[in-house]
Amino acid sequence: MNRIAILTSGGDAPGMNAVIRSVVRTAIYEGAEVYGVENGFEGLIDGKVKRLYESSVGDIIQRGGTILGTSRSERFRTEEGFKKALGVLEVFGINKVIVAGGDGSLRGALDLSKAGIDVVGIPLSIDNDLGYTDYTIGFFTAVDTVTEAVSRIRDTTEAHGRANIVEVMGRDCGDIALFSGLAVGAESIIVPEKIETIEEVAKKAIVRRNRGKKYHIIIMAEGAGSSEEFAEKFEDLTGIETKVTVLGYVQRGGKPNVVDIMLASTIANKAVKESLRENASFAIGYTDGEVRVFDLKDALKIEKKFNRSVNDVLNITSI
């Protein structure tokens, strides 16, 4: 009897519940037992494991958050905590673990793999910061959330003739800023991967103002620096009254959109089937329009590349 455990780890993202639902129902369909681990690797250490059934995941596909809970576990990185986690898997007779989360979570999965546990990683992160997959689950919903928020911010910004620096999530990857910037028609984006001086951004704003532009929207990823300092200097250089809006955790919440539900359901389905097919560890991703299987260790070595084609479109259409 195959016993599969599913845990959600790290920062929450829209689509986590859709992943859980697809894992549970696919596993049961395939004749396996499935267990949910509460609060990620922390719950694994503490033995917070429960059997899941078809009814356990009813009516959750469109809910935000995660019914299993999540956490960032420092204890899992310690020898003592790691051994406790392995002991819990042994006690419950669990021989397969599916980990849904971002880069740090999948590296935790890799540690389990090195200890002899069959693991499958599912890319779940609003930042879209994993290099082996074109898109992570939760990313497009976060972009939708930013787009909707900016549409409201624009009304006030235009009414007062101001500029607004909208700070979005993205410590090392600026994809939320990039894609939402294109979607809302932002004048500029500030991201960690792209070096654009504040003088260049200010010059663009002055040129637009001189031809009649009454307001200015700039999307800035949190990893690109201080939005408050940027706004202060931007105002000094342009003479345009400038405000800052930090969207924060609102980007993680809310029900997933149809794209993320589809990604979550199909990727999780593939994760279960691949875990039952072979005794090995994988990462499941979405590339070139297909759900694909990657060696977990190799997948985590793939560098995330900045999408320059989308950036080129934004630069051309925001002149």
pLDDT of 114: 95
> Residue 60 — very low, low, confident or very high, per pLDDT cuts 50/70/90?
very high
Task: State yes or no: pLDDT of 278 exceeds 80.
Answer: no
> Hey, what are 157's tokens?
């910004």
Predicted pLDDT at 93: 96
The active-site residue out of 12, 118, 127, 260 is: 127
First to last CA, the chain: 61
CATH 3.40.50.460, domain 139-253, yes or no: yes
Domain with CATH 3.40.50.460 in the chain: 139-253
Residue range 210-256, pLDDT digits in tens: 999 889 999 999 999 999 999 999 999 999 999 999 999 999 999 99
Six-digit token pair at 140?
Answer: 């497009």
Q: Quick check: is 298 catalytic?
A: no
Report the pLDDT value the prediction gives residue 279, as an integer from 0 to 100: 80
pLDDT at position 297: 95
Tokens of 115: 């200890």
**Domain boundaries for CATH 3.40.50.450 within the chain:** 3-138+256-299
Compute the mean pLDDT over every residue in the chain, rounded to the nearest whole number: 95
* Mean per-residue pLDDT, 89-98: 96
Task: Report pLDDT for 39.
Answer: 96
Across 11-15, average pLDDT = 95
* ∠ Cα 90 95 100 (to 5°): 110
Sign of CA dihedral 130, 133, 134, 136: negative
Between CA 216 and CA 129 the distance in angstroms is 28
The Cα 190–Cα 195 span in angstroms is 8
Res. 194 pLDDT band, cuts 50 70 90 = confident
Instruction: Output the CA torsion sign for 15, 17, 20, 21.
Output: negative
Is the model's pLDDT at 91 over the cut of 90? yes
118 contacts 277 by C-beta, under 8 angstroms: no
State both tokens at 264: 């979550």
**Alpha helices per DSSP H over 185-226:** 198-210
CA separation for the pair 147, 164 (Å, rounded): 14
The whole-number pLDDT of residue 196 equals 82
Quote the pLDDT of residue 1: 79
* Residues near 253 by beta carbon (within 8 Å), at least 6 away in sequence: 12, 14, 64, 65, 145
Over residues 33-38, the mean pLDDT reads 98
Neighbour order of strands in the sheet with 216-221: 188-190, 216-221, 163-168, 242-246
Look at residue 195 in the predicted model and tell me its pLDDT. 74
pLDDT of residue 234: 96
User: Domain 3-138+256-299 carries which CATH code?
Assistant: 3.40.50.450
- Name the 3-class secondary structure at 208: helix
Please provide the DSSP assignment of 151-174 as one string: HHHHHHHHHHT-EEEEEE--SS--
- pTM as predicted: 0.95
User: What is the per-residue pLDDT across 115-130, written as a single tens digit (0 to 9) for each?
Assistant: 999 999 999 999 999 9
285/268 Cα distance (integer angstroms): 10
